[in-house]
């Protein structure tokens, strides 16, 4: 996920661009893309200031193929976030849960 400025360039473009590009757990509820992040980290602070963001989701079978999504954050939720993240991790064997333990 990357947060973008009004002109469409990544926040932190230049020396700090790596800090603005982060891997994220995502899900789809049939209408919205759900993104899980940690409260008060850089990504969270950026979308509080400017809700626009972009996602690039790689095809696990072909890393040269991906889905690109641009949009805006319409809601932030914190209740149940850790349990939700653990549920995403449970659905993805070989990944880590929110405590950092391998599944």
Q: What is the mean predicted confidence (pLDDT) over 27-38?
A: 86
Tens of pLDDT, residues 20-32: 567 777 888 899 9
CA distance 73 to 24: 14
* Conformation bin of residue 23: beta by default, left when phi > 0, alpha when psi is -120 to 50: beta
Q: Lowest-confidence range among 65-69, 81-85, 96-100?
A: 96-100
What domains can you pick out in the chain, each with its CATH number? 2-90 (2.30.110.10)
pLDDT of residue 28: 87
pLDDT of residue 5: 66
Whether pLDDT at 58 is above 70: yes
């Amino acid at each position: 996920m990357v947060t973008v400025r009004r002109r469409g360039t990544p926040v932190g473009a230049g020396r700090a661009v790596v800090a603005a590009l982060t891997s994220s757990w995502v899900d789809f509820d049939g209408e919205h893309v759900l993104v899980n992040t940690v409260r008060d980290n850089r990504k969270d602070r950026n979308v509080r200031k400017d809700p626009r963001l972009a996602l690039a989701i790689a095809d696990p079978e072909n890393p040269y193929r991906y889905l690109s999504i641009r949009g805006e954050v319409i809601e932030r939720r914190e209740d149940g976030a850790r349990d939700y993240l653990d549920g995403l991790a449970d659905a993805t064997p070989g990944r880590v849960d929110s405590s950092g333990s391998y599944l």
